Amino acid sequence: MTEFSLPPIQTTARDDAVLKALAGFVMREKLEPGERLPTERILAERLKVSRNTVREALTRWEGLGLVERRQGSGTYLKAAVSLDMLHMPLTLAGGNDFTGLMRTLEIRRALEAEAAALCAVRADEDDLAEIERKLDIMEEEFLNRAGMSSEEDWEFHQAIYRACGNPLFEQIIAAMHELFHRFWEHPLGVRDFGHASFPYHRTMFNCIAAHDPEGARAEALKLIATVEDDLKRGAANLKLSDRK
Amino acid sequence: MTEFSLPPIQTTARDDAVLKALAGFVMREKLEPGERLPTERILAERLKVSRNTVREALTRWEGLGLVERRQGSGTYLKAAVSLDMLHMPLTLAGGNDFTGLMRTLEIRRALEAEAAALCAVRADEDDLAEIERKLDIMEEEFLNRAGMSSEEDWEFHQAIYRACGNPLFEQIIAAMHELFHRFWEHPLGVRDFGHASFPYHRTMFNCIAAHDPEGARAEALKLIATVEDDLKRGAANLKLSDRK
DNA sequence: GTGCAGAAATTGGTTGGACCATTGAACCAC
DNA sequence: GTGGTTCAATGGTCCAACCAATTTCTGCAC
């Protein structure tokens, strides 16, 4: 075990101080997302606080999505942390019905279009290569299984958000995506959900690769429109089968 | 490797269960923001879990801004909670530098344009009257004080988000707005910040009132563009005055 | 009765220690 | 190699205290 440069905590506001110290530690050690940070017991010992206090602090970070705990394994960094980061926790009420889903889709339409346009302007060769790689994987899955693979589809979109130069896009849309998937567990009865969106992935990528922001925006809007249609179709099915 | 849809099973999820139960309790008792909820000891006893587990759960809610704890007094509801709420914690690394502000503005540009376009489609007569009322107030303040009033300006924009038929727009942009103002009371020392955006408020409203979504979108983009320019100007000033 | 200072009860914050459940690595038998 | 077994490490939960801030009650002076 290496030597950690973690000086003991001073006085009140324990768990906040713990987080500050931890953030400083992460920066000094240049820990990146995916890496494991010290165990709770070690942190408690080094910071001279009880393990419970360490746990409350880590619970806060976990709630903010900065960290992931795996029992029996350890606590892992999930996002870049720094001393000067700001938190903007949003809680959206009532997203579990059809109306709520359509609302998140409206947000996603706005952000997806903007991200695609920004990406067309800013993506460099490496970004484009990565995006096309994900696109190839997705298309292959589509042909093999004759249907959309939501996992590979999501990877493709994420690659675009990452290349657009603004991490907020990925953060916001990722939250929406999670909500969306809660519904795909119990699909709306639409078998080939997302099927119609398939061709627009390639056309959108072509616009991005050609550094054509307005074209990319237009293709992104078409893509979302097909999803909205699927959703409406599913809602109609649901309404029919709901009659008692 | 074939594709199974097997979500991991959940055996232990104590604190999540606590939060679910607590959310149900809040809904049953119709507790409103500001009201006090049961003490940690009572919750631990009633839910048959340790107080420690209750605390970890409440720590999560506190981190999300749903609840406020006051030592010696109690734990108080800070926002409406429901069983179906969605959490979207956003973390902005280096939020008080120029880059961070520009990133929030990029999000705002995407949402502002979409909201204006939606509003042009959906706003009824009452909505339009309310928006114009705020606009009149803002313009009067502008003329009287020879400068933008951020308070009245914000009221005007909020009226648009409310009329666009999707409350998510207001929630997300409000979070950005709060972040924007938390560190930059008078952004970057630019005296007449936002001055150039003034005329576009009226032109944007005219497009909305004429139910012209694309026009409204275009004016919204122009408006944000002036803010971005101000920001860049301020950053340049800051860079100059920073030399020692 | 009123007002106020101090005691007492209440409540969140912290501690230390114990044990459970899961994970992953090392090891072993086949 | 494959498939178990053991075992140590790690996060999850629990308990029983005690500390610190706040609120409430009490009783005295007036």
pLDDT 10s digits, A149-169: 677 888 899 999 999 989 889
- Whether the CB of B118 is below 8 Å from some CB of chain A: the reply is yes
Q: At what angle do helices B51-63 and B14-29 cross, to 10 degrees?
A: 70
Instruction: For CATH 1.20.120.530, list the domain ranges present in chain B.
Output: 98-242
Cite the DSSP H helix spans in chain B. 14-29, 40-47, 51-63, 98-122, 125-145, 150-163, 167-183, 198-209, 213-242
Report which DSSP code applies to B196: G
**Contact criterion met (CB < 8 Å) for A82 and B103:** no
User: Count of CB contacts below 8 A, A vs B?
Assistant: 164
Range B87-108 average pLDDT: 80
Mean pLDDT highest for which of A58-62, A102-106, B187-191? A58-62
Using a CB-CB distance cutoff of 8 angstroms, which residues of chain A are in contact with residue B59? 15, 56, 59-60, 63
Mean pLDDT score of chain A: 84
Q: Is the pLDDT of residue B163 over 60?
A: yes
Cβ proximity of B191 and B234 under 8 Å = no
**Contact criterion met (CB < 8 Å) for B89 and A89:** yes
pLDDT of residue B189: 56
Provide the CA A100 to C1' C2 distance, Å, integer: 58
Smallest CA–CA distance, residue B144 to chain A, in Å, is 35
CB of A52 nearer than 7 A to strand C: yes
Range A206-235 average pLDDT: 89
Instruction: For CATH 1.10.10.10, list the domain ranges present in chain A.
Output: 14-77
Range A106-133 average pLDDT: 92
Round to whole Å and give the CA distance between B37 and B18: 14
Nucleotides of D under 7 A from a protein CB: 8-17, 20-23
Residues B192-237: tens digit of each pLDDT: 677 888 899 999 999 999 999 999 999 999 999 998 888 887 767 6
Superfamily of the domain at A98-242: GntR ligand-binding domain-like (1.20.120.530)
- Whether the CB of B92 is below 8 Å from some CB of chain A: the reply is yes
Among A79, A86, A95, the residue with its CB nearest the CB of B84 is A95
pLDDT of residue A241: 59
Which has the closest alpha carbon to A23: A102, A95, A79? A79
Range B39-51 average pLDDT: 93
pLDDT of residue B42: 94
Q: Both tokens of residue B19?
A: 């939060």
Name A74's bridge partners. Answer: A70
pLDDT of residue B244: 37
Choose between B14 and B23: higher pLDDT: B23
Note the CATH number of domain A14-77.
Answer: 1.10.10.10
